[in-house]
Amino acid sequence: MKKIALSLGIAVCSLACATVNAQTEVPVKKENAAAPTSNAEISFNKEVHDYGKIEKGGNGVCEFVFTNTGTDPLIISKARGSCGCTVPTWPKEPIAPGASSSIKVKYDTKRVGPINKSVTLTSNAKNSPTKVLRIKGTVKKAPDLNPKATPVGPVAN
């Protein structure tokens, strides 16, 4: 009985050792691995657009012009409005060094009241990989084009 227990114990140990030796080494990601760097730089003509007072239903489109002042192509990977009423459109192709382009922002002017929204850009720009552009102003009520009719002239009885 002792021989069977001893043989069984040796078999279990051998199996465990074989399993441990068969495991492959998992590569460990180095924390200090250098990220690829870019020498693209982004420079805007303005970072805030003020609509002033704009009528309800008015044209809510504005434009932010920028230039790549770096030495590598500039790539804007994402542009996100702070809410669904602020929709940015940006160039998807790389912007060459020295070249300019623009980001258009459409604000939905159906909402009456103050405007204070932002658009967050993500790019490979060395000087500003995340950039926030702002729009502000006030949407006022449109004038009433159909006021209550008042009689002009004699009224028949």
Q: What is the pLDDT of residues 74-118, one digit of tens each?
A: 999 999 999 999 999 999 999 999 999 999 999 999 999 999 999
Q: Report whether pLDDT(68) > 80.
A: yes
Q: Does residue 113 lie within any of the structural domains?
A: yes
Structural domain count of the chain: 1
Judge whether residue 143 has pLDDT over 60.
Answer: yes
In which domain, by residue range, is 91 found? Answer: 42-140
Two tokens at 111?
């909402």
Whether pLDDT at 120 is above 60 = yes
Is 21 contained in some domain? no
Domain membership flag for residue 50: yes
Residue 53 placed within a domain: yes
pLDDT of residue 152: 60
Confidence of residue 157 (pLDDT cuts 50, 70, 90): low
Task: Kindly state the DSSP code that residue 98 receives in the 8-state scheme.
Answer: T
CA–CA gap between residue 36 and residue 58 (Å, rounded)? 44
pLDDT confidence of residue 38: 87
Identify whether 131 is part of a domain.
Answer: yes
32: left (phi over 0), alpha (psi -120 to 50) or beta: alpha
In a domain, 56, yes or no: yes
CATH number at residue 126: 2.60.40.10
Confidence of residue 155 (pLDDT cuts 50, 70, 90): low
pLDDT value for 154:
64
